[in-house]
Structure 1
């Protein structure tokens, strides 16, 4: 396991037990974000970096019983917390690295990723891996239950111009990774950037 992955695993292992109780009011934001990405009954969707699985119930509700919901995370303690919260009933949990997914190419209709981008060791390459597993015109949703300014304030830091989630950085990063951004919202109450899988050569 790389140093990047070890650091991420240690960070989330230490926080897994009380993760949901630290952020008890985020559920409606997840539900609203899932509603905004246009999933259909029967779709196949991955929650990339699913953590304790908070997105799995709204994802299952969106794709229905005929759809496929997967949750992939690198940290066993987070997946254990998802099971304790009974969210494993909403989808299949995978102990997997989202930078090298055990999925065939074009297997999915959509990827939902909450708070993931800041933990990617090589964002362009890693977003390209997410593009690999999504069909052409499939969707990527990069979500956070609070916006960039609110998150920075919570963490006691300032937003810097090189913030990957800033629109002027994220749009070209996605384009280089096989995605075309179609919408971008950065408000105190949520961050949601939606992109469509395009021609990888563009």
Structure 2
């Protein structure tokens, strides 16, 4: 018997439960992250009229910056697994700048090669099947499109926040992330891991 579907569903349920109880005060807990989100969005190199997905958008901190970058003629989609996070995004007025969708990054409601870019803040640590999920992000992105894997603090600072140490198995370590992305259809072009931010920029190949 193959338990993979059950494990996948159980992992999604755990992630949803984790964020549901934290949604209401999420931005209060991290009040100073906004400028770092804006800087990361700027590095995606988007242009007016383009289409972008914020995968695992949470309360939608990146959505206003994404909208400003692609303009009124562009498309901005904010997708998150947790309805409570999207409810907070709507309360913050972010439904006015993006379409907010409850969904799973493993099965995106987006047609193939429809997007110019994907922005993903804090996402990779919560993907139940990282290789398959990154491949799904590649599916919906045109060749030459870009992916930004971002966190407003670096790996060491994040581990310290949670009372842990970085391990060699960390998927975000460059020696692990580069081949993981390559196998999913991405080429890692820039990697930054410092106390003030984590940013991996990749390009869709093929």
TM range (shorter): over 0.9
Q: Where in structure 2 are the equivalents of 1:184-195 lying within 5 Å? A: 184-195=191-202
Matches of 2:18 and 2:130 in 1, distance apart? 19
> Secondary structure, in 3 states, of the residue corresponding to 2:106?
coil
1:69 aligns to 2:76 (yes or no): yes
> Secondary structure, in 3 states, of the residue corresponding to 1:128?
helix
Matches of 1:147 and 1:74 in 2, distance apart? 24
> Secondary structure, in 3 states, of the residue corresponding to 2:65?
helix
Aligned counterpart in structure 2 of residue 168 of structure 1, from 175, 180, 201: 175
Matches of 1:180 and 1:77 in 2, distance apart? 33
How big is the shift at 1:99?
1.0
1:123 aligns to what? 130
How big is the shift at 1:160?
0.1
Please give the per-residue CA displacement for 1:163-183, whole angstroms capped at 9, x wherever unaligned.
000000000000000000010
Q: Where in structure 2 are the equivalents of 1:1-202 lying within 5 Å? A: 2-199=9-206
Matches of 2:100 and 2:137 in 1, distance apart? 17
Report how many aligned residue pairs link the two structures.
Answer: 199
Matches of 2:136 and 2:88 in 1, distance apart? 26
> Secondary structure, in 3 states, of the residue corresponding to 1:71?
strand
Matches of 1:143 and 1:90 in 2, distance apart? 21
Matches of 1:101 and 1:154 in 2, distance apart? 31
> Secondary structure, in 3 states, of the residue corresponding to 2:11?
helix
Q: What value does the CA root-mean-square deviation take over the aligned residues?
A: 0.7
Matches of 1:61 and 1:168 in 2, distance apart? 34
What are structure 1's unaligned runs of at least 5 residues? none
How big is the shift at 1:27?
0.1
> Secondary structure, in 3 states, of the residue corresponding to 1:17?
helix
How big is the shift at 1:88?
1.1
How big is the shift at 1:98?
1.2
How big is the shift at 1:36?
1.0
TM-score, normalised to structure 1's length? 0.97
How big is the shift at 1:57?
0.6
How big is the shift at 1:29?
0.2
